[in-house]
Amino acid sequence: MIPQFLISSVRKSPRFIIIIHWPATLLILALGLVFGACSSQPDPNTIRMGVAQAPTNLDPRYATDATSARINRLLYSRLVDFEQDATPVPSLATWVQQSPTHYVFTLRDHVPEFHNGQGVTSQDIKATYESILSPHNASPHRGVLHIIDRMETPSDTEISFYLKRTDPFFPSYLVIGILPANLIANRHPFSDHPIGNGPFRFLDRPDETRVRLVRQTDGQLVEFLRIPDPTVRVLKLLAGEIQLLQNDLPPELVAYLANQPTLHLQQSRGANFAYLGFNHQDPLTGNILVRQAIAHAINREDIIRYVFQNRARQAQALFPPDHWAGPVQLTGYPYDPDRARTLLAEAGFGISHRPTLIYKTSTDPFRLRLATIIQDQLSRVGIDVVIQSHDWGTFYGDIKTGRFQMYSLAWVGVKTPDIFRYAFHSQSIPPTGANRGRFASPIADHLIEQAEVSTNRTEQRTLYHDLQVHFLETLPYIPLWFEDHICFSSTEITGYRLESDGNFDGLLQVQRNTSTTHVASIRSPAI
Amino acid sequence: MTAFLMTRLSSTLIGILGVLCLVFLLIHLIPGDPVEVMLGESALQADKEALRHSLGLNLPLHQQWWDYMRSLLRLDLGHSLFSGRPILDLLVERIPATLYLSLVSLTIAITLALPLGLLAATHKHQPWDLGAMGFALLGMSIPNFWLGPILILVGSLWLGWFPVSGQEGWNAVLLPALTLGTAMAAILARMVRSSLLETLGEDFLRTAQAKGLSPTRILLVHALPNSLLPILTLLGLQLGGLLGGAVITETVFAWPGLGLLMIEAIQQRDYPVVQAAVLCISLTYILVNLLTDVVYAWLDPRIQFKRP
Amino acid sequence: MTMRLWFPASIVILWGGLALVSPLLPLNPHAIDLANILTPPGATTWLGYDDLGRSIADRLATGAQTSFIVALAVVFLGVTLGGLLGATSGYLSGWVDHIFVRIVDILLAFPGLLLAIALAAALGPGIENVIVALSLTGWVGYARLARAQVLSLKQADHVVAARAIGTSTWRILTRHLLPLLTAPLIVEASFGIAGAIIAEAGLSFLGLGVQPPEASWGSMIRDGTRYMLVAPHLVIIPGMTLMLVVLAANLLGDWLRDWLDIKDQVGKR
């Protein structure tokens, strides 16, 4: 490693010469490394998006977290998609309902090929859903799709779904990305090397922080960068290192960015339901009085006003009032610390006997901040809270497997009321579904089942209304709020549209303006 | 010289063995059941047992130690509990970044420290000296986890000269290297000053002066090289601080090196990776120190009469 | 030259005083007031409020207490344990000393904060574990210093004389050697305080120190970095405080060293 001339010079001259060359040697080494290690200059044509969490699973059969789901939407196509108002519409295939329990889906003409060049056939669809349904694979989506009794493929473009019972929402369950049948059979590692037929092709994952996709239509490179720290995300956006930033920003930074001339802000009412979840088998959180006390102890109004700076709205139920299944005019639990203390006393707690709760959350600073505020508000009514924050993977793993007493999380991108079976039915306990708190209510089960077999929209709406009223009484979750969607894009790109559910589909249209060079004109904040 | 080398080598070996012991015992320091800490308190019993077996924690301690040493000899560091990847791969991926950052920091530290120390020594008790030493003291007192954010604020944000974090762009290394190099430059500058002052008082320099050599020549050709020996030792020792400080600096700048790997592993309760990272960094440090001593002994023949 | 003493001494006294009286002051370091979120410093708002609307002045004071407790405990344990062990080992020499030197060498083979970080990670967060981790790594320096001093003092006339008249080892150590060790150990300890303050803040910065909602200057800096763009005072205030105290401890160490050296020379004449 030491250049030859240095060694020879040492031999000839007094011994200390080598020390004089110490810095020089290091400089040479360092320069060598500068050019060696940093050959990967950022490509000026790539469009980069900063995300708070890296996708945990790029296999749509297993993915459940929001980032994975949003990226998988780009990599894979599905049979059915949604309109703006949450009604299902054909995507890969159109469908006909032959009988209450028999649906026939027909692939559209000119369906794009899989990224490995294979054509998409009904066999692929069958194989995808069969592998989800196989108990052996323990897919988290199995619970909802369990309704499928069997599938038949009369031709390459046709597939029949026979159901175990009627379900008016059945088409809206078929939103999982389709994988090639032969690769499923070969146990292809889709999470590492996704192969679908979506508008984007997977390029690579150069390290744990980056995922690169290629747009099929024009070869545009899109890169997702995991940047856990929101300030760093913002700084990178301001410095032009990324061009897009969507959600997961503390409201103070949103306000700050909104004042930047080089950025474009898009904002819309969100429908992602933030809640407090509980373990219903725990003696403390399984007690309805304790949960009601917690609900009364949290001052959501103040949190929304001061912390969210009004970029959120209170939630009383899983669906917002503007969703067709969302209940209107529910009163919920107003902030009432005295009532909370009374409820706690009824549950047998008091000043000398304060309950202690373990509250799990991710290490995301904003989530941690909200958790600390909730901790403070609960301690004021006499509940001690211990916050345990873990990195996203560990935290989400703990939640999925039911290792928690209390936690906060949000349901992201939920469109159809099948969420109620998935998250609250007593038969949806993991790994079959997402009833992670092991909530069990015969009334809820009954209402869910009734609504599922009903074919009448009005009747369904009433049933779901009753169900959500029942949830507000029994509190499987404590509803918190719906955060607004925020998207900042730099002026280097155009055409990105913020979707109403916060997905990344805007990347299909986005273009990089090659002519404008980024000028770092950042206003310095006054100290 | 050979005798010195032998004693130095044997003490290095003992040091390595001791580091291995401590790193091995690290997992046993976890209060309570380490498996429970790693998997979370409500993990399934079957999962816990599986992990206990795969980590060998069910075996008697001497057996575990023996197994640990044997797998180390095969360069088998086990697998990450979090990603399931071989830990050796993780280390190999991260080493270049840390090495690169350390070398650039070292370069910055030396280029800052030499002129400062020279200036201070040649202007003893004058404003130059006070200024340089004041700066050095300040540099020693600024914690790198504060200097880092301040440099980001000024360098990346207000001036817009540097990328914020990560490894993109050729100048990305400068802010973390400056953060890491400043404290080191401070200590080094003090050392250069005191070492130089000591040399300047020696007889051979008075001879040089009497011969009528120019002051610059005396300073750069005669005094400086002769006062660099203690500085070299300090440089070796400083690398320890550098490697330790890199843990925090890498975290501040999201620099994907060994330090960040270690902190991420700590947050993920991925103790086998923590163990491996500590081991890797410490062994590097030991070897660099050995190298420094050997070079020192080679340059200064008097050394063999002293025990290090 | 009095400036060299009074500036650092007053800062250190202020720091220690604040730490000692802070339990008596009506401080509310954990009181969350949402309406005050990120209020900047001002005439009526003192040093301002943090991201949860907590008073930064109050948190700074409790943070002083945290750093004071940790620094004092770590340095005290280090000086007493390390000093005693090092002195004994140096005095006894032979195989005891040999083993001792090996142990010291092994602990010194870990670079910088690394071992403390690893220990704190294994032991779990909390102020007690920070003290344990920093003491376990910190005593070595004092031990080495004490040992080296004893080795050179052992041949001093008064020690040789004491040995000749049959004074017990323990008595020689405590009466004849330790008093002479105090001066260098005190100088080392004042630098040790600076080191311990930075180390505690560093561990807390990494999330391995005191846990929220407890206040530490390190965790205040970490939390503050998230609002650097909108509220730089969150980073600047605890950072400046930390730096001033560390600077003062270092200056005091410098001053002590010079002062004690001078006294030594006077004594010799």
Q: Which tens digit of pLDDT belongs to each residue from A264-313?
A: 999 988 888 999 999 999 999 999 999 999 999 999 999 999 999 999 99
- Neighboring chain C residues of A299 at a CB cutoff of 8 Å: 34
On the question of pLDDT at B251 being above 90, the answer is: no
Check which CATH number belongs to the domain holding B205 and give it: 1.10.3720.10
- Tell me which residue in A235, A303, A387 faces C34 most closely, judged by beta carbons: A303
If DSSP codes are grouped into helix, strand and coil, which group holds residue C163? helix
pLDDT of amino acid B1: 63
pLDDT of amino acid B164: 65
pLDDT of amino acid A17: 29
Q: Report the residue of chain A nearest C224, measured CA to CA.
A: A231
Asked if residue B236 and residue B112 are part of one domain, the reply reads: yes
Enter the CATH code of domain A270-483.
3.10.105.10
Per-residue pLDDT tens for C135-159? 998 999 899 898 988 888 888 888 8
Which of A:26-45 have CB within 8 Å of B? Answer: 26-27, 29-30, 33-34, 37-38, 40-42
- Neighboring chain B residues of A404 at a CB cutoff of 8 Å: 42
On the question of pLDDT at A14 being above 70, the answer is: no
Q: Is residue B308 part of a domain?
A: no
Which of A:282-301 have CB within 8 Å of C? Answer: 299
Q: Of the ranges A46-55, B69-78, C80-89, which one carries the lowest mean pLDDT score? A: B69-78
Last residue of one domain, picked from the residues B21, B39, B73? B73
- Rounded to a whole number of angstroms, the distance from the CA of B138 to the nearest CA of chain C is 7
- Neighboring chain B residues of A209 at a CB cutoff of 8 Å: 166, 256
- Neighboring chain C residues of B27 at a CB cutoff of 8 Å: 122
Total domain count, chain C: 1
Per-residue pLDDT tens for A357-374? 999 998 777 888 899 999
Q: Please count the CA atoms within 13 angstroms of the CA of A521 that sit on its side-chain side.
A: 9
* Domain layout of chain A by residue ranges: 77-185, 270-483
- Neighboring chain A residues of B104 at a CB cutoff of 8 Å: 30, 33-34
Q: Of the ranges A11-20, A28-37, B167-176, which one carries the lowest mean pLDDT score? A: A11-20
Q: Report CB contact under 8 Å: B152, A520.
A: no
B225 in reach of chain A (CB within 8 A): yes
B18 in reach of chain C (CB within 8 A): yes
pLDDT of amino acid B277: 92
In whole angstroms, give the CA distance from residue B57 to residue B48: 11
Q: Strands, DSSP E only, in A92-147?
A: 93-99, 102-107
* H or E stretch at C64: helix C56-77
Asked if residue B111 and residue B54 are part of one domain, the reply reads: no
Enter the CATH code of domain A77-185.
3.90.76.10
Q: Report the residue of chain C nearest B260, measured CA to CA.
A: C206
Report residue A23's pLDDT band, with 50, 70 and 90 as the boundaries. very low
* Tokens at C218, concatenated: 């390190």
Q: How many CB atoms sit inside 10 A of residue A453's CB?
A: 12
pLDDT of amino acid C268: 33
Q: Give the residue-averaged pLDDT of B24-48.
A: 74
On the question of pLDDT at B32 being above 80, the answer is: no
Predicted TM-score of the model (pTM): 0.79
Share of chain C above pLDDT 70, in %: 96
Number of Cβ pairs < 8 A linking chain B and chain C: 139
- Tell me which residue in B19, B150, B245 faces C106 most closely, judged by beta carbons: B19
| ipTM of model | 0.84
| CB-based contact A158:A95 (threshold 8 Å) | no
How far is CA B179 from each of CA A96, A464, B246, B259, C241, rounded to the nearest angstrom? 65, 58, 9, 15, 19
Residue for token pair 């000591």: B198
Residue for token pair 């407890």: C214
Share of chain A above pLDDT 70, in %: 89
Q: What distance, in Å, lies between the first and last C-alpha atoms of chain B?
A: 13
Asked if residue B99 and residue B50 are part of one domain, the reply reads: no
Report residue B166's pLDDT band, with 50, 70 and 90 as the boundaries. low
Which of C:27-46 have CB within 8 Å of A? Answer: 30, 32, 34-35, 37-38
- Tell me which residue in A253, A305, A365 faces C229 most closely, judged by beta carbons: A253
Residue for token pair 């080679």: B298
pLDDT of amino acid A51: 93
Beta partners for residue A358, in sequence order? A386
Q: Average pLDDT of chain A? A: 84
- Neighboring chain A residues of C215 at a CB cutoff of 8 Å: none
- Tell me which residue in B107, B158, B163 faces A23 most closely, judged by beta carbons: B107
Nearest Cα to Cα of residue A79 among A161, A155, A143, A152: A161
pLDDT of amino acid A236: 83
pLDDT of amino acid A516: 45
Which of B:197-226 have CB within 8 Å of C? Answer: none
- Neighboring chain A residues of C212 at a CB cutoff of 8 Å: 368, 372, 387
On the question of pLDDT at B206 being above 80, the answer is: no
Asked if residue B236 and residue B169 are part of one domain, the reply reads: yes
On the question of pLDDT at C180 being above 50, the answer is: yes
Q: Is residue C225 part of a domain?
A: yes
- Neighboring chain B residues of C205 at a CB cutoff of 8 Å: 143, 145, 248
On the question of pLDDT at A20 being above 50, the answer is: no
Q: Average pLDDT of chain B? A: 81
Total domain count, chain B: 2
For the purposes of burial, counting CB atoms within 10 Å of the CB of A330, is it exposed (0-12), middle (13-18) or buried (19 or more)? middle
Q: Report CB contact under 8 Å: C32, A255.
A: no
- Neighboring chain A residues of B106 at a CB cutoff of 8 Å: 26
Report residue A504's pLDDT band, with 50, 70 and 90 as the boundaries. very high
Q: Report the residue of chain B nearest C124, measured CA to CA.
A: B30
On the question of pLDDT at B146 being above 70, the answer is: yes
Share of chain A above pLDDT 90, in %: 54
pLDDT of amino acid B226: 74
Asked if residue B139 and residue B218 are part of one domain, the reply reads: yes
On the question of pLDDT at B307 being above 60, the answer is: no
Asked if residue B13 and residue B134 are part of one domain, the reply reads: no
pLDDT of amino acid A468: 94
Domain of residue C203 covers 38-268
Asked if residue B262 and residue B167 are part of one domain, the reply reads: yes
Q: What is the 3-state secondary structure (H, E, C) of C93-148?
A: CHHHHHHHHHHHHHHHCCCCCHHHHHHHHHHCCCHHHHHHHHHHHHHHHHHHHHHH
Q: Of the ranges A23-37, A94-108, B201-215, C125-139, which one carries the lowest mean pLDDT score? A: A23-37
Check which CATH number belongs to the domain holding C259 and give it: 1.10.3720.10
For the purposes of burial, counting CB atoms within 10 Å of the CB of B6, is it exposed (0-12), middle (13-18) or buried (19 or more)? exposed
In whole angstroms, give the CA distance from residue B98 to residue B103: 9
Maximal C-alpha separation, chain A: 98
Q: Average pLDDT of chain C? A: 87
Q: Of the ranges A474-478, B13-17, C71-75, which one carries the lowest mean pLDDT score? A: B13-17
pLDDT of amino acid B74: 86
In whole angstroms, give the CA distance from residue B270 to residue B84: 10
Asked if residue B244 and residue B167 are part of one domain, the reply reads: yes
In whole angstroms, give the CA distance from residue C259 to residue C146: 20
Asked if residue B156 and residue B33 are part of one domain, the reply reads: no
Q: What is the 3-state secondary structure (H, E, C) of A430-480?
A: CCCCCCCCCCCCHHHHHHHHHHHHCCCHHHHHHHHHHHHHHHHHHCCEEEE
pLDDT of amino acid B154: 83
CA angle C140, C70, C148 (to 5 degrees): 20
Domain of residue B99 covers 89-268+294-299
Q: A153 φ, ψ to 5°?
A: -120, 85
Q: Is residue C29 part of a domain?
A: no
Q: Report CB contact under 8 Å: A527, C35.
A: no
Q: Is residue B50 part of a domain?
A: yes
In whole angstroms, give the CA distance from residue B164 to residue B181: 18
pLDDT of amino acid C177: 81
Structure-model confidence comparison of residues B259 and B48, the more confident one: B259
| CB-based contact A513:A243 (threshold 8 Å) | no
Q: Give the residue-averaged pLDDT of A97-117.
A: 92
- Tell me which residue in A229, A306, A375 faces C35 most closely, judged by beta carbons: A306
A382 in reach of chain C (CB within 8 A): no
- Tell me which residue in B99, B114, B169 faces A41 most closely, judged by beta carbons: B169
CA angle A324, A325, A330 (to 5 degrees): 110
Report residue A416's pLDDT band, with 50, 70 and 90 as the boundaries. confident
pLDDT of amino acid A49: 95
Query: How does DSSP assign C44-61, residue by residue?
Result: TTBT-B-TTS-BHHHHHH
pLDDT of amino acid A37: 40
- Neighboring chain A residues of B232 at a CB cutoff of 8 Å: 19, 22
Report residue A42's pLDDT band, with 50, 70 and 90 as the boundaries. low
On the question of pLDDT at B208 being above 60, the answer is: yes
Q: Of the ranges A346-355, C2-11, C173-182, which one carries the lowest mean pLDDT score? A: C173-182
Report residue A57's pLDDT band, with 50, 70 and 90 as the boundaries. confident
For chain B, the residue count is 308
Q: Report CB contact under 8 Å: C114, B266.
A: no
Structure-model confidence comparison of residues B166 and C41, the more confident one: C41
- Tell me which residue in A305, A306, A372 faces C213 most closely, judged by beta carbons: A372
B263 in reach of chain C (CB within 8 A): yes
Per-residue pLDDT tens for B254-298? 888 999 999 988 887 888 899 999 999 888 888 888 888 887 777
Q: Report CB contact under 8 Å: A235, C226.
A: no
Q: Report CB contact under 8 Å: B14, C117.
A: no
| CB-based contact C224:C60 (threshold 8 Å) | no
| CB-based contact B161:B175 (threshold 8 Å) | no
Q: Is residue B37 part of a domain?
A: yes
Q: Report CB contact under 8 Å: B100, A33.
A: yes
Q: Report CB contact under 8 Å: A253, C212.
A: no
On the question of pLDDT at C267 being above 80, the answer is: no
In whole angstroms, give the CA distance from residue B28 to residue B39: 15
On the question of pLDDT at C113 being above 80, the answer is: yes
Q: Report CB contact under 8 Å: B274, C118.
A: yes
Q: Report the residue of chain B nearest A16, measured CA to CA.
A: B225
B266 in reach of chain C (CB within 8 A): yes
For the purposes of burial, counting CB atoms within 10 Å of the CB of A507, is it exposed (0-12), middle (13-18) or buried (19 or more)? buried
Q: Is residue B197 part of a domain?
A: yes
Which of B:126-155 have CB within 8 Å of C? Answer: 137-138, 140-143, 145-146, 149-150, 152-153
Chains near C with 3+ CB pairs less than 8 A apart are: A, B
Which of B:70-109 have CB within 8 Å of C? Answer: none
If DSSP codes are grouped into helix, strand and coil, which group holds residue C34? helix
